[in-house]
Amino acid sequence: MLFLYMFFTASGLNAATNRGSMDLRAIKTAIIAFVVVVPISVLLGKEHTKRKVPSEYLAKKNPFSGSDKSVLERGERLFSTICARCHGKNGDGVGSRLEGYTMPIFNKEFLSKREDGYIYWVVEHGLSGTPMPPYGPGSDRNLSEADVWKVIAFVRKRFGK
Ligand code: HEC
| Tens-digit pLDDT profile for residues 2-43 | 555 555 555 555 555 556 556 778 757 665 565 655 555 455
Q: Is the CB of 102 under 6 A from ligand 1?
A: no
The Cα–Cα gap between 24 and 143 comes to: 59
Q: 71 CB less than 6 Å from ligand 1?
A: no
Ligand 1, pocket-test mutation among 102, 109, 132, 139, most atoms within 8 A of CB: 132
> Rounded to an integer, what distance in angstroms lies between the CA atom of residue 101 and that of residue 79?
19
In angstroms, what is the span from residue 67 Cα to ligand 1's centroid? 24
Burial class (CB in 10 A: 0-12, 13-18, 19+), 143: buried
Q: What is d(CA 66, CA 18) in angstroms, rounded to the nearest whole number?
A: 65
pLDDT, tens only, 85-129: 999 999 999 999 998 899 999 999 999 999 999 999 999 999 999
What's the Cα-to-Cα distance from 79 to each of 69, 103, 147, 151, rounded to whole Å? 15, 16, 10, 6
DSSP 138: T
Per-residue pLDDT at 44 exceeds 90: no
Q: Please give the pLDDT value at position 107.
A: 97
Give the contacts of 47 (CB within 8 A, at least 6 positions apart): none
- Residue 133 φ/ψ, nearest 5 degrees: -85, 160
Q: Which helix (H) or strand (E) holds 76?
A: helix 69-78
pTM: 0.78
**Ligand 1 pocket residue status of 85, Cβ below 6 Å:** yes
Contact 107, 90 (CB under 8 A): no
Averaged over 30-59, what is the pLDDT? 71
